[in-house]
Amino acid sequence: MENMKEVILEYVIDEYCDDESSDISFDTPLISGGLVDSFSMVSLKRFLENKYNISIPDDQATPEAFDTVTKIELLVKKFL
Partner 1 sequence: MSNIGSYEKRLENFEWSIAEKELDYKPGDHINIGWYLSDRNCLMGKSDKLALIWEGLGGAEKSYTFNDIRIYSNTIASFLKNLGIKNEERVCLFMDKIPELYIGFVGILKLGAVAQPLFSAFGDESLFVRLDNAKTSAIITQRKHVSKVRKILDQLPNLKHIIIVDYDGKNPLREREIAFDMEQAEQVEHFESFPTKAESHSLLHYTSGTTGQPKGVKHVHYSLISQYLTTKWVLDLQDDDIYWCTADPGWVTGTSYGIIGPWSLGVTQCVMDIGFSADAWYKFIEKRKITMWYSAPTAIRSLMKAGNEIIKNYDLSSLRHLASVGEPLNAEAVIWSEKVFGKAFLDTYWQTETGSIMLTNFPGMKIKPGSMGKPFPGITAAILDPKTYTPYTETGKIGLIGFKPGWPAMMRTYWNNEETYKKKFENGWYLPGDRASIDNEGYFWFIGRDDDIINTGGHLVSPFEVESALLEYEAVAESAVVAKPDDVNMEVVKAFVTLKPGFTPSKDLELNIMNFIRKKLSPLAMPQEIEYVESLPKTRSGKIMRRVLHAKEWGEEIGDISTLEND
Which of 61, 25, 22, 11 has the alpha carbon at shortest distance from 41? 61
39 binds partner 1 (CB under 8 A): yes
- Helices and strands in the chain, H and E counts: 3, 0
* Count of residues in contact with partner 1, rule CB under 8 A: 28
* Nearest to partner 1 of 3, 32 (CB atom): 32
Compute the distance between CA of residue 66 and CA of residue 80 in angstroms, rounded to an integer.
17
3 binds partner 1 (CB under 8 A): no
Binding site for partner 1 (CB under 8 A): 15, 18-22, 29-40, 42-43, 46-47, 49-50, 62-64, 67
